[in-house]
Structure 1
Amino acid sequence: MSDATTPAQAPVAPQYAAHDGDAARDRDAVLAAWRGNLGQAARMAAKYDWFYLGAPAGMPVMQLLAHVGSDAPVGVCSAGRRRMLREGREIRAGVLVDLAVTPEHRSLGPALILQQGLFAAGRRELDQLYGFPNPKAAPVFKRIGYRKLGEMVRHARVVRHAPYVQRRAPTLPAPLADALGAFFDLGTALRDRLRFRGTGALHATWCDHAPDIDALWSASPKPAALTAIRDAAHLRWRFDDAPTDAALPPFRHLLLRDARGDAAWFATRAENATRTLHVHDAWTRDGGATPSHAILLALLRAAHQAGFAVISVELATNAERLQPWRDLGFEARSRRPVFGTDFRDGADGDTDLHLTSADEDE
């Protein structure tokens, strides 16, 4: 019982509330909330029109943050819709993206309210949410209701050794460093071919646009893991329509064929400053998410012939699907957590993943 001489304290009205957004209606408001948070205005506008308005799976699930006394939203977060497979069945998934809160409201409380709103909206509209938070944000994601599903691990393999010889021996004349590098290249290529003899011949073709791999995709085995549906509409949107600039050059695609037709496909993006070929996605006819040694040998040859020094690939997958990459000398370089939630009843066990860089937003 309160003291009769002390007036009862009135409840404090909430200052913030999250509510559903609409990508078509709220474009200007979202871009305003992004400004100064997520990147250059022109680039973010291009991303919005591509990722938010043009995705074949539909417009994202979006939450806007309202503040008492403010007409415009002071924060936003979204989940981009993705058609995915899980245990062989198509599900409605969403990738967590673009959390932004304006500077004057930037604290844990508003961000948490936004994320809680998105979690609730995802439960209504989706079967699965997943994302790639900064490791420091892991406690917040656990508090909201997400759990760690796995790790996205970047693996790399050297295909041209001359840059590394020059780096290790900077006083060595460039022609000699190139010659030593070529010698190491030849030696590693010969070692790989001897180790994986009898793997067959593959013809490699570089394409500036996503090839039609519908037949390859249809014929391929699909893992039980959570993995994206790679039909022609998704590939054209994800790679051909994606915004480009100096930091994000266009994607190029490597198509491998054998006597039976299309055998494998890689979506790649070049980092010219380091002569690195980043593999953003891949699929194979006979192995699905698991490339054969022959396919990876063909990728190594094609990258070497194109002048790249390093191949890099990011995967959140299991040991079996990763093993061919490791057999061909790809080594782990960095890792980051994958968090998410499965909204099915009782789905609280381990989640088998096969995610690539293409399963993010850029």
Structure 2
Amino acid sequence: MSAQAHGGYRVEEADLARDGDAAVGVWRASLRDGAGRAAKLEWFYRAAPEGAHLQVLRPGTGHEVLGTAGVGWRRMRAGARTLRGGLLADMAVLPGHRTLGPAMQLQRAASDRALAEGDLVYGFPNANAVPVVKRLGYVHLGDMVLYVRALRHAPYLERRLPRPLATLLGRAIDTAFALHDRLRNLHRGALHAQWSEGPLDLVHPRWPRPGMLEGVRDRAALEWRFAHNPLAAFRFLYLRRAPDAQPMAWFVCRRDGDVLHIADFGFAPGAPVAHCVATLAREATARGGRSLVVECCLPDEERSALLRAWFRERQRRPIYARWRDPEQAARAVRFTSFDEDE
């Protein structure tokens, strides 16, 4: 077992059988949503189809687990190139040890370990962690942008208007949006919608772009990431021109109250995005949805299509990556929640 020692601490490869419970304890003390941490250990580190590994921070002469840094392997592509990407996950340090030195040790050990076996390592650092990853040679890859499309406008209007007026005006706006969708897509005909508890056995359509970095979405990866995820319940929606036709769009959906989160999606080349989103909106509204929410990093063409389908940007968070060979770095990226760890 290799170890890196510095400043009274050392970083080692975790033995999940021995260190798993202690790692879960660190996560519960340091990260949000502590209740699902034990389930994540099994799902992310033991059951991932491409594998994962975990580094642990220990005191210089002891065996306690003071912090963790994980890497989950992902099969990726950039144009015609097949890549092995490492997703940084579960960076956590117990209170009392949260100084720059231990954080740098963990991040360096995780990224060096990943780049010894893979082509790149990437993550979604919060504002406090950005200086750390920059010092380790990470570069800004893009931004995960949160987009929202309102389906029922009254709840938003109630923040500024009396409820009776907000309800009346909200219904009028809802009707106007629905009518606009129907008129804009009237010549295209209705789409057939099929819901599924897991991914169907088919090639999920996507918009290819030369050199674009993206995760490989085969059935095994989609099943593990969504259908077998113990942290949330997802459903798949496929849209077709006819029941026996190939899908022109697909969405992975998670319900959170009256909000429908789109965790992953894809469109066939040339698909009418606004028409597909309008069908998704009707499906969500019929199930009591108030809004559609999706967080993603898209190439310009797909982002523009999403904006034309009434999605609006709300906030951003950065993606940083470190490449084994910086000259091979991708120039464009397409990430969704599929490419994250929860």
TM-score of the two chains, using structure 1 as the length reference: 0.85
Separation in structure 2 between the aligned mates of residue 241 and residue 324 of structure 1, nearest angstrom: 31
What is the correspondence of 1:165-184 to structure 2 with a 5 Å cutoff? 165-172=157-164, 177-184=166-173
Report the counterpart of residue 205 of structure 1 in structure 2: 194
Q: Is the 8 A contact 2:207 2:266 kept in 1?
A: no
Distance 1:100-1:177 versus aligned 2 partners, 3 A rule: closer
The answer to whether the Cα contact below 8 Å between 1:61 and 1:122 also exists between their aligned partners in 2 is no
Aligned to 1:15: 8
8 Å CA contact retained: 1:81, 1:94:
yes
Matched, 1:108 2:135: no
Question: Could you say if the C-alpha distance between residues 263 and 22 of structure 1 is closer, same or farther in structure 2, counting changes exceeding 3 Å?
Answer: farther
Match of 2:208 among 222, 235, 243: 222
Q: 1:177 to 1:206 in 2, by over 3 A?
A: farther
1:214 Cα deviation from its structure 2 partner: 2.4
Q: Which residue of 2 is the match for residue 351 of structure 1? A: 331
Alignment RMSD: 2.3
The amino acid of 1:205's aligned partner reads: Q
Shift of 1:202: 0.8
| Alpha carbons of structure 1 residues 211 and 88: separation in structure 2 relative to 1, 3 Å | same
Question: For the residues of structure 2 that align with 1:24 and 1:255, how far apart are their CA atoms?
Answer: 40
**Alpha-carbon distance change, 168 to 39 in structure 1, aligned in 2, over 3 angstroms:** closer
Corresponding position of 2:37: 44
- TM-score when scaled to structure 2? 0.89
Residues 61, 121 of structure 1: 8 Å contact kept: no
Q: Which structure's CA Rg is the greater one?
A: 1
Residue 286 of structure 1 aligns with which residue?
269
Give per-residue Cα distances to partners, 1:291-341, cap 9 Å, x unaligned: 622211211221222221111111112211111110011111000111011
- Does the CA-based 8 Å contact 1:85-1:229 persist in structure 2? yes
Written as runs of structure 1 = structure 2, the 5 A alignment for 1:1-362 is 14-23=7-16, 26-39=19-32, 42-58=35-51, 60-172=52-164, 177-207=166-196, 209-217=197-205, 220-223=206-209, 224-244=211-231, 248=232, 250-259=233-242, 260-272=245-257, 275-286=258-269, 292-344=273-325, 346-347=327-328, 351-362=331-342
Which of 16-25 and 133-142 deviates more? 16-25
Query: Could you report, residue by residue, the CA deviation over 1:132-161 in whole angstroms, capped at 9, with x for unpaired residues?
Result: 111232111110110111111101111112
Q: 1:136–1:33: structure 2 CA closer, same or farther, 3 Å change rule?
A: closer
| Cα 1:25–1:258 shift into 2, 3 Å | farther
Helix, strand or coil for the counterpart of 1:214?
coil
Which residue type is aligned with residue 45 of structure 1?
Answer: A
How far off is 1:276 after superposition? 1.4
Q: Which runs of 5+ in 2 are unaligned?
A: none
Q: Is the 8 A contact 2:67 2:92 kept in 1?
A: yes
